[in-house]
Amino acid sequence: MRSMLIDGKLVQAEATIGVVDPSTGEVFENVPDAAAPDVDNAVAAALRAFPDWRDRTPEDREAVLAAVADVILGNLDELSDLLIAETGRPRGLAQFELAQLAVGYLRYYGALRLAPEVLADEPTRRVELHRKPLGVVAAIVPWNAPVFIACNKIAPALAAGNTIVVKTAPTTPLTTLRLGELIAQVVPPGVINILSGGNEAGAALVDHPDVAKVTFTGSTETGRKIMAACAPSLKRVTLELGGNDAAIVMPDADVKAVAPQIFAFSFFNSGQVCAVIKRLYVHDSLYDAMCDELAGLASASKLASGREADAQFGPVQNRAQFDKVRGYVEQAGRDGRIVVGGEIADGPGYFVPLTIVRDVSEGHAIVDEEPFGPILPVIRYSDLDDVVARANASPFALGGSVWGSDLDAATAVAARLESGSVWVNQHCALDPGVPFPANKQSGFGVEGGIEGIYPYLALQTLNIAKNPS
């Protein structure tokens, strides 16, 4: 059985949780189920490790983050196998998450250097602006990109001089726990602690009085609870929550050219990504052609366990999400017309065929809500001002995109969207050096880019009088 990493040691908990293979629906491994004493031990270890880590040079900290990245690359096959087993995703996607995303963010934040800013330097005074680490960071991670999201919190937190306790998602703990086992010898004890456990372990971690900051990625519903739990002690909090990204296809778009990209960014990781296309608005003049093109692409793709070499799309990751997505598919069939997919077998595994539904609009759950699965609503529009207003009329504002041949015209429409990230002729293009902001109820406290390290630092002004009398 896999172990948790606490204070540099590999430890078990009193109870265990079964890990289910989403391709079969069967438990294939057990992991520790952290309880309150385990959370206490992890936070205490992170607190003890903090002064030494805080006082290390940026170069020392970069070396440790680089060592974690090297461990991922040096064990890529083993870690990919585990990620495939617990998520069902194809190998290429598992390797992309580990070797590109996780490693890319670890390296980017390791190399980042922040110098104090001088705000005033006059004969009588000097004022400097410093940024100081906060202490122990609690990182709560979801199941859809477990290792990347953990590393996207570990990297800026540690680069800023904090120590961290990561709580993995209940259904995808394996790869992150294995990473913890592999890095036990390369990270100073207590600097990174990794717990597996349920929602209660997450709540205990958020509530812990010695946690200075909480960074959470997950559903908007849980984000609200976490924000409320941070209120009594005014803990700093970063929330990366749900999305309902709109994509707008302009009247001048070349359907055959853009459809494969739109398809790829709608069904990436079987739609289980916060910032994939979840509402596709297509101009009236291209509507039928786009529906047909996307349906053709969906019919030609292979849905299978990621263990199969030719799998292109895997199952939904867990039973609860599978039931939720099935509900959306059934309702969408009543609200609109399913042009491909829609037939969900009762097992084995949590497979949902790529599903495209047309003739739906606002007021239908598949358009208004975030299904977080492989189903795409295609919505008709005829007026650009109207479609911009409809795209913005959502409580979510994570990502959005505009697709067209005239780049200036598409860019002008993109600039009117309210989401944190806006793309033209692409979607969900992540880059460690580019901030990934979340607006409205998609969250706040940005990740990515230099802006992504600031939420892990407290501002301090140092005010020096030069000529004391």
Residues labelled catalytic = 240, 274
User: x/- site string to ligand NAD, residues 337 to 366, per CB under 6 A?
Assistant: ------------------------------
| φ/ψ (deg, to 5) at 35 | -115, 180
Which residues contact residue 289 at a Cβ distance below 8 angstroms, ignoring those fewer than 6 apart?
255
**Which of 11, 9, 7 lies closest to 49 in space, CA to CA?**
7
Q: Decide if residue 281 touches ligand NAD (CB under 6 A).
A: no
Distance CA 9, CA 458 (A): 30
Say if CB 466 and CB 125 are below 8 A apart: yes
| Six-digit token string for 250 | 């302009």
Helix axes 103-111, 58-74, angle to 10 degrees: 170
Q: Provide, rounded to whole angstroms, the least separation between the CB of residue 142 and ligand NAD.
A: 3
Q: Decide if residue 243 touches ligand NAD (CB under 6 A).
A: yes
Residue nearest to ligand NAD (CB): 202
Phi-psi region of 449 (alpha: psi -120 to 50; beta: other; left: phi over 0): left
Q: Decide if residue 199 touches ligand NAD (CB under 6 A).
A: yes
DSSP classification of residue 422: E
When the beta carbons of 80 and 222 are compared against ligand NAD, the nearer one is 222
Q: Decide if residue 441 touches ligand NAD (CB under 6 A).
A: no
* Choices 8-16, 163-171, 174-182, 326-334; region in contact with ligand NAD by CB under 6 A: 163-171
**Which residue type is seen at 454?**
Y
Tell which one of 71, 206, 246, 297 touches ligand NAD (CB under 6 A): 206
Q: Provide, rounded to whole angstroms, the least separation between the CB of residue 381 and ligand NAD.
A: 24
Q: Which of residues 105-144 bind ligand NAD (CB under 6 A)?
A: 140-144
Q: Decide if residue 398 touches ligand NAD (CB under 6 A).
A: yes
When the beta carbons of 266 and 442 are compared against ligand NAD, the nearer one is 442
Tell which one of 242, 374, 437, 452 touches ligand NAD (CB under 6 A): 242
Q: Provide, rounded to whole angstroms, the least separation between the CB of residue 242 and ligand NAD.
A: 3
When the beta carbons of 241 and 387 are compared against ligand NAD, the nearer one is 241
Q: Provide, rounded to whole angstroms, the least separation between the CB of residue 203 and ligand NAD.
A: 4
Tell which one of 372, 381, 423, 444 touches ligand NAD (CB under 6 A): 372
Say if CB 282 and CB 381 are below 8 A apart: yes
DSSP 252-292: T--HHHHHHHHHHHHHGGGG-STTSEEEEEEEGGGHHHHHH
Distance CA 458, CA 157 (A): 12
When the beta carbons of 242 and 342 are compared against ligand NAD, the nearer one is 242
DSSP 66-115: HHHHHHHHHTHHHHHHHHHHHH---HHHHHIIIIIIIHHHHHHHHH----
Residue in the structure block whose two tokens are 């209660």: 200
Q: Provide, rounded to whole angstroms, the least separation between the CB of residue 323 and ligand NAD.
A: 13
Tell which one of 89, 153, 167, 235 touches ligand NAD (CB under 6 A): 167
Contact footprint for ligand NAD (CB under 6 A): 140-144, 167, 169-170, 198-199, 202-203, 206, 217-219, 222, 225-226, 240-243, 274, 370, 372, 398, 438, 442-443
